[in-house]
Chains A and B, each alone.
Chain A
Amino acid sequence: MRSVLPVLSVVAAILGFWLLCVVPMNMHLVADQAQRDGLLVTPDTPVARQDVGGVALALKNTHLIPLTYEFKRPRLPSPQQVGREMYATIIDKKITSKRSLVYHGWVTLAPTLLGFLIGTSLGILLAVGIVYSRVMDRSVMPWAIVSQTIPILALAPMIIVVLGSMGIQGLFPKSIIAAYLSFFPVVVGMVKGLRSPDGMQLDLLRTYNASKAQGFWSLRLPASAPYLFASLKIGISASLVGTIVAELPTGARAGFGARMLVGDQYGQPLVSWAALFAAALTAAALVGIFSLIERVTLKRMGMAAA
Chain B
Amino acid sequence: MIWVLVAIVIWALGWWINIRLSNSARSDETLMRVAIPVIFGLTVVIVWEMLVHGFDVNPVILPAPSSIIERLGAEGPRLWADFKQTILKGAVSGYVIGGGAALAVAVLADRSDFLTRGILPVGSFMAALPIVGTAPIFVKWLGSDWESKAAVVAVMVFFPILVNTVAGLRDTSSMQRDLMRTYGAGYWPTLFKLRLPAAMPFMFNGLKIATTLALIGAIVAEFFGSPTVGMGFRISTSFGQLALDMVWAEIVVAAIAGSAFYGAMTLIEKRVTFWHPSQR
Contacts and interface: CB of A to CB of B under 8 A. Distances in A.
Do A and B pair up? The answer is yes
Given A142-B37, A151-B212, A279-B133, A75 B140 contact: yes
A189 B132 CA distance: 27
Contacts, number: 162
Given A134-B22, A157-B223, A279-B133, A165 B216 contact: no
Contacts of B216: 151, 153-154
Interface string A122-159: 00000000000011011111110010111101110110
Interface string B198-241: 00000000000001100110011001100000011001100100
B128 A264 contact: no
A135 B125 CA distance: 40
B133 to A, nearest CB: 3
Contacts of A150: 212, 251, 254-255, 258-259
A166 B62 CA distance: 11
A6 B251 contact: no
Contacts of A276: 129-130, 133-134
Nearest to A237: B128
A6 B118 contact: yes
Interface string B157-200: 00000000000000000000000000000000000000000000
Interface residues of A, number: 57
Given A134-B22, A139-B36, A276-B130, A149 B122 contact: no
A11 interface: yes
B40 A151 contact: no
Interface string B243-280: 01001000100110011011000000000000000000
B118 A138 contact: no
Contacts of B125: 280, 284
Contacts of A142: 37
Given A151-B215, A272-B137, A276-B129, A139 B40 contact: yes
Nearest to A233: B124
Given A135-B18, A149-B262, A153-B220, A248 B118 contact: no
A3 interface: yes
Nearest to B39: A139
Nearest to B231: A154
Nearest to B123: A10
A235 interface: no
Contact of B247 (A3, A158, A256): A158
Interface string A254-271: 001100110010000100
Q: Main SS of the interface on chain B?
A: helix
Contact of A6 (B18, B114, B235): B114
Contacts of A75: 140-141
Given A6-B117, A140-B40, A166 B133 contact: no
B66 interface: no
A81 to B, nearest CB: 14
Contacts of B133: 244, 256, 260, 272-273, 275-276, 279
Interface string B103-131: 00000000000111111011011101111
B136 interface: yes
A11 B122 contact: yes
B23 interface: yes
Contact of B254 (A154, A157, A287): A154
B91 to A, nearest CB: 9
Interface size class on chain B is 35 or more
Interface string B79-93: 000000000000000
A255 B140 CA distance: 22
B3 interface: no
Contact of B122 (A10, A151, A277): A10
A210 interface: no
A200 interface: no
B8 interface: no
A134 B118 contact: no
Given A149-B261, A279-B130, A166 B41 contact: no
B19 interface: yes
B219 A154 contact: yes
A154 B220 contact: yes
Contact of A134 (B23, B121, B211, B239): B23
Nearest to B134: A276
Given A135-B22, A245-B220, 6 more contacts: A138-B18, A138-B36, A142-B37, A154-B220, A276-B130, A276-B133
Interface of A: 2-3, 5-11, 14, 25, 75, 134-135, 137-143, 146, 148-151, 153-155, 157-158, 161-162, 165-166, 237, 240-241, 244-245, 248, 256-257, 260-261, 264, 269, 272-273, 275-277, 279-280, 283-284, 287
5 contacts: A7-B118, A7-B122, A10-B119, A141-B37, A150-B251
Which 7 interchain pairs have the tightest Cβ spacing?
A: A6-B118, A276-B133, A10-B118, A139-B40, A283-B128, A154-B219, A142-B37
